[in-house]
Structure 1
C-alpha cells in the first residue's frame, strides 16, 4: 500500500470556457439535402437542434430527412432559391414548421466557371443562387432573429485563390466574404453573430462531374480532399462559443494539399 497522500483536487475553473448547449435551438440550412449542408444538418440534429432544410431535388430531400430523423428532428421542402420568391417560400415554410429560428446556415450553391465559358443564362442563374440568395436569406434570417442568433455563411477558399477558370465562382465567393465581414459588424450590436466558413475542396455532389464518387473517395483517402463532415465540425465549433465571442472566419483545407 502506498504511503503517498492523495493528490489535491484539481481546480479546473479556468481550464475551459463555458460552451453554450445547442439543445433546443432551431436552424434553417439551405442546400441541406446533400454534401456540406446535409452533413451540417445531421450533426446539428444529433445535438438536439431542430432543423429545417431545403434542396432542389425531392429524392435528395427525402434521403436527407431520413438520415436527419435517425439522429434527431427535422423537416424540409424542395425549392429553388434562385427563383424570385424562393427564399421567401423557404423561410415561410420554416416558420410554419417550427416558428422562429435562431440559427441560419446559408450554404446552397452551384458550381460556376469562367466568365467567357458560361452562357448569359448560366451566369444569371449562378449569381441568383450563389450570391443573391445568400444576401436575401441573411436578410430574412436577421428579420426573424431580431436580437439573438447565429448566421453562418458557407463560403469558399476560392474567394482568395481567384483562379481564371472559375472567375465567376471566385468573384461571388469573394463578394460573400466581404458581405459577411461587413454584416457581422452591422448585426453584432443587435445580438446576432455572423461567421464565414471557407472550405477548400470537399467531397460532395457539388464536385460532379469533374470528380466522380470514386475519385473523391481516393482523394479523401490521400487526405487531399475534405469530407463534408469536416466542415460540419467547424460549424459546430462556431456555434458553441460563448455569446461574447464571435468566430469571424474559419478556413478549412486538406492537410496534404499544398495549393489551397
Structure 2
C-alpha cells in the first residue's frame, strides 16, 4: 500500500447528535449588564445571537454593551424590573429593537437576607425583582415565542441549601425552581423549552459585599469559586441541544467546593 493512500472515510453519523446553531437567533437577557448576565450576553453575541439586555445602572449598561459589540450585536436599556411596569417596558423595548425573540435568559436578581432582618419595604422589593419579575418575564416571553423558543432561568443552589441568614433569598429561589419545573411541562408541548440553571458560589459584586475582588480572584484560582463565564457555558450547552430534548435543570458548582 502506498504511503500516500488516503485514510478510510469515517462514518460519523452516530458519533454526535445534531446540534442547532445559535447564529441568527434573538435573545433578551435580564440583568445582562454585570456578572452572570453579562457573561451570558457576551457569549451569545459571540455565537451570532442578537441580544437585548437590561440593567439598573447606566454605566454598567454602557460598559456591557461595549463588550457585547466587540464580539457581536446587541442593545439594551436601563430599567428597574422591580417597578410595576418594568418588565413590560423592557420587553416592549426589545421588540422595538429586533421584533420577536426566541430566547429569554431570566437572570436579574438582588441579594436578600433572613426574614426577620429585612424591613417590609426591602422584602417587597426583593420579591418583586427576584420572584415576580421572573414569572412576568416568562409570561411575556411565552406570548412572544408562541410555539418555539427557549426560556432559561438563572436560579441558585440556595434553593436547596436553606439557611436562616438567607431565608428570603432561598425561599424565592426554591419558588423559581418549582415554577420552572411546572412551566417546562406546560410549555413543552407548545414547542418552548424551559430550563433552570442553579449556580453555586460565583464571583460577582452581587452577593459578597465583604468579599473583596482580590479574595474572589484567589478563590477562583483555588477552584472553590466559579467565574460568571462558567455559567454562560452552561447556558450555551442548554441552548444547543436538539429540539426534541430539554435539559430541565443544571447545577454548577466549584470542583473544590468545601476545601476552604
When normalised by structure 2's length, the TM-score is 0.97
Instruction: Give the superposition deviation at 1:11.
Output: 1.1
Number of matched pairs: 259
Instruction: Give the superposition deviation at 1:9.
Output: 2.0
Q: What corresponds to 2:123 in structure 1?
A: 123
Q: What corresponds to 1:240 in structure 2?
A: 240
Q: Please give the secondary structure, in 1, of the residue aligned with 2:206.
A: helix
Instruction: Give the superposition deviation at 1:53.
Output: 0.1
Q: Within 5 Å, which residues of 2 pair with 1:1-260?
A: 7-258=7-258
CA offsets 1:105-126 (integer angstroms, 9 cap, x no match): 0000001110111111111010
Q: Which runs of 4+ in 1 moved over 6 A?
A: 1-5
In 2, the alpha carbon distance for the partners of 1:137 and 1:6 equals 55
Instruction: Give the superposition deviation at 1:153.
Output: 0.1
In 1, the alpha carbon distance for the partners of 2:185 and 2:207 equals 33
In 1, the alpha carbon distance for the partners of 2:76 and 2:12 equals 42
In 2, the alpha carbon distance for the partners of 1:223 and 1:155 equals 21
Instruction: Give the superposition deviation at 1:10.
Output: 1.4
Q: Which runs of 5+ in 2 are unaligned?
A: none
In 2, the alpha carbon distance for the partners of 1:90 and 1:212 equals 32
Q: Please give the secondary structure, in 2, of the residue aligned with 1:234.
A: helix
Provide closer, same or farther for how the CA distance between residues 5 and 48 of structure 1 changes in structure 2, counting only shifts above 3 A.
Answer: closer
Q: What root-mean-square deviation, in Å, do the aligned CA atoms of Structure 1 and Structure 2 show?
A: 1.4
Instruction: Give the superposition deviation at 1:2.
Output: 6.9
In 1, the alpha carbon distance for the partners of 2:84 and 2:19 equals 39
Q: Please give the secondary structure, in 1, of the residue aligned with 2:160.
A: helix
Instruction: Give the superposition deviation at 1:195.
Output: 0.1
CA offsets 1:74-101 (integer angstroms, 9 cap, x no match): 0000000000000000000000000000
Q: Please give the secondary structure, in 2, of the residue aligned with 1:206.
A: coil
CA offsets 1:4-41 (integer angstroms, 9 cap, x no match): 97653211110000110000000000000000000000
In 2, the alpha carbon distance for the partners of 1:44 and 1:201 equals 22
In 2, the alpha carbon distance for the partners of 1:3 and 1:239 equals 44
When normalised by structure 1's length, the TM-score is 0.97
Q: Please give the secondary structure, in 2, of the residue aligned with 1:197.
A: strand
Q: Please give the secondary structure, in 2, of the residue aligned with 1:207.
A: coil
Instruction: Give the superposition deviation at 1:219.
Output: 0.7
Q: Which runs of 5+ in 1 are unaligned?
A: none
